[in-house]
């Protein structure tokens, strides 16, 4: 289970004001379909994850559900207050640099890695858009734009289940290998999840992106 506390505003000095709290959102390990949308439409602009997201933990299904939720909350431009645990801070932040930066990165060298993460973060750092018969990914995580167009039917069909997190065995293995090699899918144990988000709120006109 993943639980996050929702608030209408991200500023700390508003936390105790009447009407700011919007309750707790609970997402089970089967996915977070619609959870971020429901949170945003309820008026929430801040989400606090109660438990750390442990990439080295013994419950990869829940960890994937938490990462999917952070990804989707980020796609709505929400402030996500979360803690991340992993042994390799440098590799972790670069791979997850498109997500809203966590409050803590609990790993050797985590403070330096987190400072770089915060300094380089922006909306649209790694996102996908759906077109007629194709999916396009734009990825700035390396500092240079990678534009990837996915039009092969098998590859397009795999995106939908991966969006919510899926067992790797349930995905076409050739497609999964291609996506993993391209850095578009992340693996945790036997589970896989689609990393790019679909931008829901643009910081500027969509025609400029």
Q: What is the radius of gyration, based on Cα positions, of the chain?
A: 17
Which tens digit of pLDDT belongs to each residue from 12-64?
Answer: 888 788 889 999 988 876 656 689 999 999 999 999 999 999 999 899 999 99
How far is it, in rounded angstroms, from Cα 34 to Cα 44?
Answer: 14
Residue pLDDT, tens place only, 55-102: 998 999 999 999 999 999 999 999 999 999 998 888 899 999 999 999
CA distance 209 to 206: 5
Q: Cα–Cα distance between 176 and 170 in angstroms, integer?
A: 10
CA atoms within 13 A on the CB side of 150: 21
95: nearest Cα among 57, 138, 126, 136? 126
Q: Write out pLDDT tens, residues 193-203.
A: 999 999 876 65
For the chain, give me the number of helices (H) and strands (E)?
A: 6, 13
CA distance linking residue 101 with residue 119, whole number of Å = 10
């Amino acid at each position: 289970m993943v639980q996050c506390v929702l608030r209408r505003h991200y500023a700390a000095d508003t936390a105790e004001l009447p009407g700011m709290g919007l309750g707790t959102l609970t997402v089970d390990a089967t996915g977070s379909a619609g959870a971020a949308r429901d949170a945003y439409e309820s008026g929430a602009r801040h989400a606090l994850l109660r438990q750390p997201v442990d990439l080295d933990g013994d419950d990869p299904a829940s960890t994937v559900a938490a990462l999917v939720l952070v990804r989707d909350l980020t796609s709505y431009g929400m402030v996500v207050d979360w803690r991340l645990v992993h042994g390799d801070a440098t590799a972790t932040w670069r791979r997850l640099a498109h997500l809203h930066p966590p409050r803590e990165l609990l790993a050797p060298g985590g403070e330096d890695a987190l400072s770089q993460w915060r300094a380089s973060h922006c909306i649209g750092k790694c996102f996908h858009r759906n077109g007629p018969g194709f999916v396009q990914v734009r990825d700035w995580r390396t500092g240079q734009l990678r534009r990837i167009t996915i039009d092969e039917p098998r590859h397009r069909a795999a995106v939908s289940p991966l969006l919510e997190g899926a067992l790797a065995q349930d995905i076409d293995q050739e497609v999964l290998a291609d996506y993993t090699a391209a850095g578009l899918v992340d693996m945790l144990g036997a589970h896989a999840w689609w990393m790019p988000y679909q931008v829901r709120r643009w910081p500027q006109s969509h025609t400029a992106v």
